[in-house]
């Protein structure tokens, strides 16, 4: 039997169904399968419309999608430079241990370097020990002094409608 062929490439609008499938697989892994409300039409618009909000790298074993990285630019005021924020990195559980996650991160590091980014950063769930070990092995450091805050739908609306 021949060795599986690994490849990776930027996603195109034709890949939206695959992207949504991988997002749903990630949500299942993160114990929140019912929280995905993304749709193919919505993803096509925000990823490939007039003003794309993010980019996606897809990883393949032969012709089968095995993982993805979804990322976008952020900005460091202290560095005065853009950064890359990795929103999601996912490799299907059955395809882990083959170097695909590392390959996606290496490609993101190349993109960050080539675009003059001062940082490549992401968040990880506290309970996801395999991911934390994986990231530490790559040389990534946790930011212990920082806490992530978030507003969502209703909270965004309430704040937006509040008086100064």
Do the Cβ atoms of 89 and 104 come closer than 8 Å?
A: yes
What is the rounded CA–CA span in Å between residue 38 and residue 32? 13
Outline where the chain has alpha helix (H): 16-29, 40-48, 100-114, 129-137, 153-161
Mean pLDDT, the chain, integer: 94
Per CATH, domain 6-161 is 3.40.630.30: yes
Going by the DSSP 8-state scheme, the letter that residue 83 receives in this structure is: E
**pLDDT, position 1:** 65
Q: How wide is the angle at C-alpha 15 spanned by C-alphas 9 and 19, nearest 5°?
A: 90
**In whole angstroms, how large is the CA radius of gyration of the chain?**
17
What is the rounded CA–CA span in Å between residue 39 and residue 18? 12
Whether 114 shows a pLDDT value over 70: the answer reads: yes
Mean pLDDT score, 105-119:
96
What is the rounded CA–CA span in Å between residue 84 and residue 71? 7
Whether 100 is catalytic is no
Whether 164 shows a pLDDT value over 80: the answer reads: no
pLDDT, tens digit, for every residue of 147-156?
A: 888 888 899 9
Q: Which of 29, 85, 100, 135 is catalytic?
A: 135
Mean pLDDT score, 129-136:
91
Mean pLDDT score, 51-64:
97
What is the rounded CA–CA span in Å between residue 46 and residue 119? 23
pLDDT-wise least confident of 70-74, 113-117, 158-162? 158-162
Quote the pTM value: 0.90
Do the Cβ atoms of 73 and 51 come closer than 8 Å?
A: no
State the sign of the Cα–Cα–Cα–Cα dihedral 23, 150, 102, 80.
positive
Q: Residue 127 — pLDDT band, cuts 50, 70, 90?
A: confident
Distance of CA 50 to the CA centre of its chain: 21
What is the rounded CA–CA span in Å between residue 24 and residue 103? 22
pLDDT, tens digit, for every residue of 75-107?
A: 999 999 999 999 999 999 999 999 999 999 999
């Amino acid at each position: 039997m021949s060795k599986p062929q690994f490849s990776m490439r930027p996603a195109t609008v034709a890949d939206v169904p695959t992207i949504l499938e991988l997002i749903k697989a990630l949500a299942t892994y993160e114990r929140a399968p019912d929280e995905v409300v993304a749709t193919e039409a919505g993803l096509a618009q925000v990823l490939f419309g007039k003003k794309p909000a993010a980019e996606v790298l897809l990883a393949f074993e032969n012709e089968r999608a095995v993982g993805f990285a979804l990322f976008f630019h952020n900005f460091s005021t202290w560095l005065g430079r853009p950064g890359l924020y990795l929103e999601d990195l996912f490799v299907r559980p059955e395809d882990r241990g083959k170097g695909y996650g590392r390959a996606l991160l290496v490609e993101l590091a190349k993109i960050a370097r080539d675009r003059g980014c001062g940082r490549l950063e992401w968040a990880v769930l506290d309970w996801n020990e395999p991911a934390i070990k994986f990231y530490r092995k790559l040389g990534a450091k946790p930011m212990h002094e920082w806490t992530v805050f978030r507003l969502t739908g209703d909270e965004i609306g309430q704040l937006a409608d509040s008086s100064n």
